Every structure is written in C-alpha cells, then in structure tokens.
Amino acid sequence: MWNHQQPHLYNNVTHLEAEMMLNKQFAIEHGIPTNSSYSVSPHHSGVYPVHEPLYEAWRKVWDVKVTSTEEYPHLRPARLRRGFRHKGVMVLPRQTCGLFTHTLLLERYPGGRHRLDRSIQGGELFQTVINNPINVFMTHMSNYGNDRLALYTFESVVKFLRCWTNVRLASAPPLALAEKYFQLRPDELNPLWGNPCDDIRHRRIWSKSKWCGTLPKVLVIGPQKTGSTALYTFLAMHPSLAPNLPSPTTYEELQFFNNNNYLKGLDWYLNFFPPSLTNTTQITFEKSATYFDGDLVPRRAHALLPNAKIIAILISPSKRAYSWYQHIRSHGDPVANNYTFHTVITANDSAPKPLRDLR
Ligand SMILES: Nc1ncnc2c1ncn2[C@@H]1O[C@H](COP(=O)(O)OS(=O)(=O)O)[C@@H](OP(=O)(O)O)[C@H]1O
C-alpha cells in the first residue's frame, strides 16, 4: 500500500484502488516488476480477518493471486498456521524469521548475537524450516542493508541445513509455490472463519465499522420439517430475542455454515446482524434447519461462535418423514410424485435406485 497504509482503514473500495494505483504507477516508473501475482499487506491488515475491499482491489489493480500471513488462524503457535483461498486469492501461511524493524544491527539483536545464531543452529528458525514443507519468510528492506542481517540469517540457516540434514531445499516463485502448497494441503483451501473479536491482534487490524456484538448467541439447527419455522416465529416474537435480518433468497434462513454462503466470507454473514438489530438486552439468534445434518457445520459454527447455545428439535421420525415427502412433492420432485409415501418407505434394496435414494 502507498505510504504503508493499512487496507482495513479503507471501507471504500474505490478509494483503496486509487491508493493502490499510486503504488503501481510508482513501480512502473521505476522499473520495479509488477507481474509476480504476489502481494503482502502492511501488518497483515485486511488479509485475515478478511477485509473484502482489499481482495477486490488487489484482484483489480494488481491481479494478485497469492499472498501470505502469520495471522491465520492466529500468530502462534507457528506450526499451526494454515493457508486458505478467498475470492481467487491463495493465502499462504507465513513463517517468522526473527528479524524485525528494530533488529537492524547485529550488536543490537535482542538477547545478543548468540541468540540469533542459536535460532539458526538448531533453534527456532532451523526447526521452522524442518517442520514446514513450504516456508514463506519476510523481512524488512532495511535488513538487507545495514548489517545485512537477512542475508546472514538465511545464508547461515541454509548452510546449517545442508551440513546437518538431508533436507532437499528448493525455491519457487509465489504462484508455483501456492499451487504446490494446496496440492499438498487441499483440505486447507476452504477457510475456517474465527471470531475476530476473540483475538486482540485481529481486532487491531479489523475495520472499525465492523462488529461482533450482534453475532448470534443461539443457533436453531433444525432438522428440516420439525416445526423449526414455527419455533423461529415464536422466538422472534419474544422481546428479549432478535433474529437475523432475512435473506433475499432463503428468507429467514441464512444457511451460512452448511453451504457455499460460507465462502462469501464473514462480512456477508455479519451484514445480517447489523448493530441496529438489537437493543442492549436482546439476544440474537439464527435458525437454519439445514445445519442439523451439515457435515461442515459443527467445525465452522464452533470456530465462529464457540459459546453459542444450540437448539435442535426432535419429533417422531415418521411424522418428519411424511412431512419431508410432502415437502419435496410440492417442490416437484419426480420420484416423490411417482410413488406413494408407503411405497417409498417400504422400498427394499432391489427397488430402483432413485426410490432407494429417496427412502
Ligand atoms: N409445534 C409444532 N409441532 C410439530 N410440528 C409442527 C409444529 N409447528 C409446525 N409444525 C410442522 O413442522 C413442519 C414444518 O417444519 P419446518 O418449519 O422445520 O420446515 S422447513 O424445514 O423449514 O421447511 C410442518 O409440517 P407439515 O405440515 O407436516 O409439512 C408444520 O406443520
């Protein structure tokens, strides 16, 4: 960013884009390459917790496809950092090398030179490289000047690794590195959104115009056809309770945790819980009957709302099955329309596949 500005301070994407254009023009005028597909953000701002305007402006101005951060899911422990992909940008976990803006000179290295050498010779930096198949490090430009600590540190750790291990070291440009990373860790591609307000570092790099206070404290998870809409309506009538704003497509249900709405990001979900939604004594809740049998729901809901109370409704399975049968008939399901309820529930294993599936 121009002037080392933090993207989360910009809520207006046009303004953000204009600032980024200044960077780009500067780079072009000075022959600095602009086609690496890689960019980082000052102080990790906007990368995680995700600030949507940053992702939008990055793609538009720079065609950024890869970035890295130490913040996902949290700064420490480093070995638990992961990657994810959001809006076409692959976010790699970034490791820490121990060189910061205040460590420009070897004699001023916190704890003395032997501390840095210890980190290189079997200590933290060495362990980091050994324990992560792909490492992304970053240090400040000034560490390449002054005492050249960056060069010293990385040359030394590479020498040490070559001397004492059989690890094969290779480097690759950002895009190839990111593609390799997600080939190795395809399970990480989909993000897991945590609650930015639970983490002081994350709160600092989160837009002031965002909020967590109104996130639901209660989730009604269904299952479908158990009277969940009736319960939602009754709860919404209670003066101490406040439901989310309705969705234009799925009405009272947001269906965030169980399907691709989740990939739209946390801001998408938060917009259904604006600060104006509740007064100070009200408890917000959300009801999506599809949460009950969504494989991904427990992990996702726990990551964002670890303290939420969960309400599940249990009714007679036969009543539920009959209600479901009527539900899909009314939605034009060809199998349900061709077979009676009795035929469906008594279908044996030699029945046609569509019938067995419906059963
Ligand atoms: N209090 C109470 N007790 C038991 N059953 C009730 C109750 N209130 C509503 N219902 C019945 O629940 C059915 C609709 O359930 P849902 O709202 O969960 O359906 S959905 O999944 O949101 O489509 C729907 O069932 P069917 O009428 O058989 O389709 C409702 O009539």
Q: Looking at the CA of residue 225, tell me the nearest atom of ligand 1.
A: 15
In the reported structure, the alpha carbon of residue 332 is separated from the centroid of ligand 1 by a whole-number distance in angstroms of 19
| Cis-peptide, bond into residue 49, ω within 30° of zero | yes
Omega before 196 cis (within 30°)? no
Phi, psi angle pair for 243, to nearest 5°: -85, 170
pTM metric for this prediction: 0.93
- Best residue among 221, 226, 328 to mutate for probing ligand 1's pocket (most ligand atoms within 8 Å of CB) is 226
Give, for ligand 1, the residue of 220, 224, 225, 327 to mutate: max count of ligand atoms closer than 8 Å to Cβ.
225
Ligand 1, pocket residues at CB < 6 Å: 224-230, 289, 315, 323, 326-327
| Atom 4 in ligand 1: residue holding the nearest Cα | 227
pLDDT, position 1: 57
Catalytically active residues are: 225
Residue 333 Cα to ligand 1 midpoint, Å, equals 19
Measured from the CA of 232, which atom of ligand 1 is nearest? 17
Average pLDDT per 10 consecutive residues for the chain, totaling 359 residues: 83 95 94 94 96 97 97 87 97 94 88 95 95 93 91 97 96 97 98 96 95 96 97 97 95 96 97 91 96 98 98 97 97 96 96 94
Give the list of residues 6+ apart from residue 18 with CB closer than 8 angstroms, or none: none
H-assigned helices in the chain: 13-29, 52-57, 113-120, 124-131, 149-164, 174-184, 200-204, 228-237, 266-270, 297-304, 317-330, 334-338, 341-345, 353-358
What ipTM score was computed for the predicted complex, to two decimals?
A: 0.96
User: What pLDDT, on the 0 to 100 scale, is given for residue 25?
Assistant: 94
Look at residues 202, 201, 197 and name the one whose alpha carbon lies nearest to residue 212. Answer: 197
